Structure 1
Amino acid sequence: MKVQAIVPDADTRPLLAGAQFGDAFSIAVDNSALDARQAAEKMLTRGPRWIDALMRLRNRLVAPFGLKTPSPGETTATDAVGIFPVISETPDRLVAGFNDRHLDFRVVVDVAPFGHDKRVTLTTLVLTHNLLGRAYLTIILPFHRLIARAMLRQVAS
């Protein structure tokens, strides 16, 4: 199964009004019973070791700036997938994310019928608040794209 970069669905923009950045990736999977929660859990609760290592490095680098540094199992949300608090959920869409002083972001997982399969789409939306947020986004974007693709591949495995 191949991960494809796609244009984010306009329907996701209201989930983070004013977002300056949005991207989306999708993959077709052979699992007709898959719902958005299951897809999100496959993507966000377990990742390749290299992603975990990047997140630990990120947390060490941003801690002096007062940015959130969540780790698995440390979220204060009553409902979360991995480190991401769930904001809203239906069987076809799960929206997670949080707000920080430098930026707000949303991770949107959509699952839709695709012939006899399902198409899973991962959309990321970001609203920056200041220079730190814009700089942070610029630095992490190349890694974000690699991570998003790797996370979607986990849904197919």
Structure 2
Amino acid sequence: MTATIIKQPVPAASRLHGATASAHFHDSYRMALAPDPRSALQFYLDTVVHTPRWVDRLMALRNAIVSRLGLKDLGALGAIDRARPASAYRPGDRIGIFTLLHVSDDEAILGDSDRHLDVQVSVYRRDGEISMSTVVHVHRLLGHVYMLFVAPVHRRIVPAVMRRMR
């Protein structure tokens, strides 16, 4: 049975909530969570290793295009060390395409910065639910153009990745 994924505002208790006021783009999705002792970061790690192939193909296409424009090739979303437990990660560590910015049992915030934009992603678990929220701050015209193409696809990617949460 597939869990229902619901679009919502960024949770008020999330550390990303305050960043939405100045953001160019933000979204958040939630779903019910069965009792599970895993931390928010462990949920993220367990989920991205099962990234849908079409998402990996889109990331490869994105990397091929933007690297010609002088932007970062981020690699693949699920390119992480599967043997490394969540407890071994510290803020500043790279996890796939993101850097870990904050970690607690209930929330992991990952992000990436470039000349054109800053992205932060939160995985937040509370009260029988798990949420994935994204906040983007754009710095240059290239960031605005980039988001014109990325935002519509992003709205499909996050729910698709969340469906892989086990």
Q: TM-score, normalised by structure 2?
A: 0.82
* Structure 1 unaligned regions, length at least 5: none
Q: Which residue of 1 aligns with 2:27?
A: 23
Paired residue for 2:96, among 40, 65, 82?
82
Q: Report if aligned partners of 1:105, 1:126 keep a CA contact under 8 Å in 2.
A: yes
CA contact (8 A) 1:107 1:124 kept: yes
Per the alignment, residue 11 of structure 2 pairs with 9
> Could you tell me the percent identity over the aligned residues?
31
Greater shift, 34-43 or 146-155, is seen at 34-43
Between structures 1 and 2, the one with greater helix share:
1
Alignment of 1:7-156 (within 5 A): 7-10=9-12, 11-14=15-18, 18-71=22-75, 72=79, 79-113=93-127, 118-155=128-165
Letter in 1 for 2:139: H
In the alignment of these two chains, the number of paired residues is 150
Cα RMSD for the two superposed structures: 2.1
Task: Report the more deviating stretch, 13-22 or 134-143.
Answer: 13-22
The alpha carbon displacement at 1:129 in A equals: 0.5
Query: For 1:7 and 1:138, how far apart are their aligned partners in 2?
Result: 21
Shift of 1:34: 2.8
CA distance in 1, matches of 2:117, 2:92: 22
- Structure with the bigger RCO (C-alpha within 8 Å, sep 6+) is 1
Take 2:162 and 2:136, find their aligned partners in 1: how far apart are those partners?
A: 19
Secondary structure in 1 matching 2:146? helix
**Structure 2 letter corresponding to 1:9:** P
TM-score after normalising by structure 1: 0.86
Q: SS at the partner of 2:112?
A: strand
Structure having the larger proportion of residues in strand: 1
Q: Quote how far apart the aligned CAs of 1:32 are.
A: 2.7
